[in-house]
Structure 1
């Protein structure tokens, strides 16, 4: 019997047997098991299984952390053992009634924005690469000056860096229609209507180079380039409207009437009601975010860097995607990325300290790879498998995150993109900030590591918590 087959069998037993498993799916690092009876789960037994880096129950699922690569193999073995498979989307449908209304709302918000993130990551990397290639020092190494850069090359880089944000409402509306059960192609067209060149460009209006159209004497109308919330609300309502129209029109006319009425009603509502109202809401949220990030003396870093990973374990951190997108759209940089990078790196430092200090082979084999995962931007194995389990390492990691983020705020660190942090995140700082970014991470890791090594963990603490296991 292979090792992974044995692990799969032990895990099935730990969650109450095949009869207690409704379905199983997986993401990049976790096996997500939908169970029939939560009370039959033996969490302690599951965490003792080889290769398991932590386990917890959340959103109606028992989530077992294996890490990238390993999770795919365990999933295959469980499927081979006859456990019912399902997609993450199907599991989300089953789990969407779990938790309170706020948690469900945040999960749905995340479902809309997570698929958009890869193209925004690519855009951030393009921005970082353009910043690197246009630095005077880098150009000097190639025997060039800024005056030698051709207009055509700059235009090409603008296509790479500006497209995603120029058509952001189309991406958001597409994803919202997909999540809420509408036709994604209608969502794309609705989003494109919000940025139609026939409308005054939102950025030109903001800079005073163009004027918004005035309807009925009091409704200002312009494009919604880079806007998120109006497109999200329009996508949500549009998907619901499409389903209602489809139920009511004759099947023979569905192909003609459903998209026609959906787009007609929704673009009218979006331009004259949803857009103006929710653009104002969006502006207020952005003003509050900017005010927090602008607090003097590094206070914003202390607050956000110290609290971010607590928010992560509650599962509502996807709300930050919206804020980061808005920061990048409005300012072309993302100071939030630098702060949360420090919070993530510090948890990796704390897990590394546990791994180096412990003499327990199983914990060492868990903590060291978990710390490396955190340095790649994935903290779940470190948090749930090590730091939070023994509490003090997690707290020391919070302190380390606050210390590094304090420095990042003091020096004004800001990335060119979002969604990648720590080691991969260096690609967002390929400019004059590079050394400062490295230093912020070193501070975070160093403080988290040192505090944990000196005060945050002993094997005696493990014996008290795990009962000598």
Structure 2
């Protein structure tokens, strides 16, 4: 459309022209522009462009917030204007040297885990629906009890709810090979080897229903159905190994020898070294997380609920993907989701208060849609476009998120999945927790809105900040 073409042209000009753009990609809400020289970016000009809800430079990328749907259209116009596109994995490679080692490591975690989140979201929804259907009051509507449900239906529901987690190492190994430059199909096969039925099932071993295999008299080996880190590390090393072999093996033999040696070496390392070592590391990390979540009086929610959106600003919030996947793997529920939901809803409420209180037409037009976006689970427009710009609304949102999250922790609220929050997140709490979930969101929204309205924003404060 002509309007989107004009927006794309204005944005290109504001970042220094086509010659200053290396590549461009996008995620669900943001256009990610790799620039050669960030000093050529005109921040003020970029933020004044129609439909832009905020912009910031982070981790080697200039990230412009448009929101869901719109970002796809603007990206298409960039392509039509001859700007080179780039996959997120390629941009990840381009930004490898940007930021400190911790930021780079977390970005890498995000690059591996983000592509598999949609299937985990779907699985969480299946689990929520299963929990809803299996409630005694719902079964009574159909004249059924738990004992009268056909076995075939139970098997069908298990296929829906268990498959993604049973084969999670396959998904992780595939994604790791893809991110680190290996052949994804080799990653798939390596992941399948880690959960091969010939190995004792990890869950059976944990329950004492099966014994692990013992190799070399001291190495215990079982399947890795419940593990994340071993598959991630195996995928990383496997991709690097494959790339190294391809450089050394003659082209005539590459098709046969490279996958053969990669899989042979990697399954040996994965079962006998990587698996046992990083499974221990994984258990230690999860023990620490569980200790934090089990703190009394809602302390865990108070702390995490306050700091989560600060972590979102730094761009290292993808570390929570690993933790949430592990919680779902081990316990079938995810208390992090309830905490994150509270922090997300609170930022939306703070932006809503700004939008309703201000008399500035442009700010109102920005704040109200941004708040709705947050209530759909995407906080970047509200944070970068409104709350963080005026500081106090952001702080009030942090407080509201902390209070709501503390309540969620005290009542033991936990979702059946991950990655969706606030309004869409209701689907993860259909198993009898929906009223507590609604209460959590209302507390967060109420506290953040009230504080922002009373102490966090005024047009006088806006004018003072805008004139600086």
Alignment match, 1:282: 282
Say whether 1:294 aligns with 2:260: no
Contact 1:249 1:258 survives alignment (8 Å): yes
| Gap change, CA 1:80 and 1:264, over 3 Å in 2 | closer
Alignment match, 1:425: 425
Give the 3-state SS of the residue equivalent to 1:298 in structure 2: helix
Would you say how many aligned residue pairs link Structure 1 and Structure 2?
468
| Gap change, CA 1:167 and 1:85, over 3 Å in 2 | closer
Give the 3-state SS of the residue equivalent to 1:57 in structure 2: strand
**Separation (CA, whole Å) in 2 of partners of 1:145 and 1:167:** 31
More off after superposition, 70-79 vs 220-229: 70-79
Give the 3-state SS of the residue equivalent to 1:297 in structure 2: helix
Alignment match, 1:119: 119
Please list the CA deviations of residues 385-418 of structure 1 after superposition, one character each: whole Å capped at 9, or x if unmatched: 0001111000000000000001000100000011
**Separation (CA, whole Å) in 2 of partners of 1:25 and 1:466:** 31
Give the 3-state SS of the residue equivalent to 1:359 in structure 2: coil
Say whether 1:64 aligns with 2:37: no
Alignment match, 1:178: 178
Please list the CA deviations of residues 69-117 of structure 1 after superposition, one character each: whole Å capped at 9, or x if unmatched: 2223333334444434333333333222211111111111111111111
Alignment match, 2:253: 253
Contact 2:121 2:420 survives alignment (8 Å): yes
Q: CA deviation at 1:249?
A: 1.8
Please list the CA deviations of residues 410-465 of structure 1 after superposition, one character each: whole Å capped at 9, or x if unmatched: 10000001111110000000021110000000001111111001100011111111
TM-score, structure 1 length as denominator? 0.97
**Separation (CA, whole Å) in 2 of partners of 1:198 and 1:154:** 25
Alignment match, 1:308: 308
**Separation (CA, whole Å) in 2 of partners of 1:71 and 1:198:** 46
Give the 3-state SS of the residue equivalent to 2:9 in structure 1: helix
**Separation (CA, whole Å) in 2 of partners of 1:256 and 1:347:** 54
Alignment match, 1:105: 105
Query: What is the 5 A alignment of 1:134-145?
Result: 134-145=134-145
**Separation (CA, whole Å) in 1 of partners of 2:342 and 2:213:** 44
Q: CA deviation at 1:25?
A: 2.6
Please list the CA deviations of residues 365-399 of structure 1 after superposition, one character each: whole Å capped at 9, or x if unmatched: 00000000000000000000000111100000000
Alignment match, 1:407: 407
**Separation (CA, whole Å) in 1 of partners of 2:21 and 2:261:** 43
**Separation (CA, whole Å) in 2 of partners of 1:185 and 1:83:** 30
Please list the CA deviations of residues 118-139 of structure 1 after superposition, one character each: whole Å capped at 9, or x if unmatched: 1111111111111111110011
Alignment match, 2:240: 240
CA RMSD, aligned part only?
1.4
**Separation (CA, whole Å) in 1 of partners of 2:153 and 2:64:** 48
**Separation (CA, whole Å) in 1 of partners of 2:366 and 2:296:** 39
Q: CA deviation at 1:142?
A: 1.9
**Separation (CA, whole Å) in 2 of partners of 1:256 and 1:353:** 63
**Separation (CA, whole Å) in 1 of partners of 2:308 and 2:420:** 15
| Gap change, CA 1:187 and 1:81, over 3 Å in 2 | closer
**Separation (CA, whole Å) in 2 of partners of 1:215 and 1:89:** 37
Deviating 4+ runs (over 4 angstroms): none
Give the 3-state SS of the residue equivalent to 1:342 in structure 2: helix
Say whether 1:163 aligns with 2:169: no
| Gap change, CA 1:268 and 1:86, over 3 Å in 2 | closer
Alignment match, 1:444: 444
**Separation (CA, whole Å) in 1 of partners of 2:445 and 2:250:** 63
Contact 1:167 1:226 survives alignment (8 Å): no
**Separation (CA, whole Å) in 2 of partners of 1:207 and 1:8:** 57
Alignment match, 1:329: 329
**Separation (CA, whole Å) in 2 of partners of 1:252 and 1:156:** 47
Give the 3-state SS of the residue equivalent to 1:31 in structure 2: strand
More off after superposition, 176-185 vs 2-11: 2-11
Give the 3-state SS of the residue equivalent to 1:415 in structure 2: coil
Give the 3-state SS of the residue equivalent to 2:416 in structure 1: coil
Contact 1:348 1:371 survives alignment (8 Å): yes
Please list the CA deviations of residues 233-279 of structure 1 after superposition, one character each: whole Å capped at 9, or x if unmatched: 11111111111122222222212211111111111111111111100
**Separation (CA, whole Å) in 2 of partners of 1:85 and 1:209:** 51
Query: What is the 5 A alignment of 1:202-221?
Result: 202-221=202-221
Q: CA deviation at 1:37?
A: 1.5
Give the 3-state SS of the residue equivalent to 1:269 in structure 2: helix
Alignment match, 1:191: 191
**Separation (CA, whole Å) in 2 of partners of 1:254 and 1:25:** 32
More off after superposition, 242-251 vs 11-20: 11-20
Contact 1:347 1:374 survives alignment (8 Å): yes
Contact 1:55 1:65 survives alignment (8 Å): yes
**Separation (CA, whole Å) in 2 of partners of 1:324 and 1:142:** 34
Give the 3-state SS of the residue equivalent to 2:272 in structure 1: helix
Alignment match, 2:369: 369
**Separation (CA, whole Å) in 2 of partners of 1:82 and 1:241:** 36
More off after superposition, 64-73 vs 311-320: 64-73
Give the 3-state SS of the residue equivalent to 1:233 in structure 2: helix
| Gap change, CA 1:333 and 1:276, over 3 Å in 2 | same
Contact 1:22 1:35 survives alignment (8 Å): yes
**Separation (CA, whole Å) in 1 of partners of 2:12 and 2:142:** 60
Give the 3-state SS of the residue equivalent to 2:64 in structure 1: strand
Alignment match, 2:272: 272
